[in-house]
Amino acid sequence: MTVTLNPYLGFRGEARAALAFYASVLGGAPVITTFAEGGMPHDPEHADDVMHGQLDVPGGLTLMASDAPADMDVPTESSVTISLSGGPDDADTLRGWYAGLSAGGSDVLPLERAPWGDDFGMFTDRFGTGWMVTISGLGPQEG
């Protein structure tokens, strides 16, 4: 068996919309199980909320997400940020992901050449998830 490490994002009623948004940018198709489908006792008003959602992105990336029941806390701030990185061959893909995922969110640092020679940017998406994008191996900026 192979061990994997992947982000599991928590939402309050927005997991389905977030997974659909991430799929529209990253690719793949979300697979969702609601609380009702999972047989979990849950407030009937929230039976269609996401108990577990998974997005497998082409290239081996996986995002998971769920909606927290009303009696569970969802942190409003987190020290976790999702990092997407690659080299020069991935530059177009990573720039496209940065543009797509940051739409409707807020830039922390625009994606541009950093002093250490990589293109680097940070943003918070429209669902409050923090992201970093790094394109390595580009070298120092000329000029």
Please, are residues 84 and 133 in contact by the beta-carbon 8 Å criterion? yes
The SS3 call for residue 54 is strand
Which stretch of 7-11, 17-21, 72-76, 139-143 has the lowest confidence by average pLDDT?
Answer: 139-143
E-strand ranges in the chain read: 8-11, 31-34, 50-57, 61-67, 82-86, 106-113, 119-124, 130-135
At residue 5, the pLDDT reads: 86
The single residue listed with the structure tokens 């990185």 is: 85
Sign of CA dihedral 106, 112, 114, 120: positive
Residue length of the chain = 143
CATH topology of domain 82-135: 2,3-Dihydroxybiphenyl 1,2-Dioxygenase; domain 1 (3.10.180)
For 24-83, write each residue's pLDDT tens digit.
999 999 999 998 888 776 677 778 899 999 999 998 899 999 998 877 777 666 678 999
Q: How many CB atoms lie within 10 A of CB 69?
A: 16
Residues 89-97 have a mean pLDDT of 96
Tokens for 109, please give them: 């640092």
Global confidence as pTM: 0.88
At residue 140, the pLDDT reads: 62
82-135: same fold as 8-67?
Answer: yes
Orientation angle between helical segments 15-26 and 91-102, nearest 10 degrees: 150
| Cα atoms in the Cβ-side hemisphere of radius 13 Å centred on 140 | 3
Top CATH class, 8-67:
alpha beta
At residue 37, the pLDDT reads: 85
Cβ partners under 8 Å of residue 54, min gap 6: 30, 31, 62, 63, 64, 65
Give domain limits for the chain. Answer: 8-67, 82-135
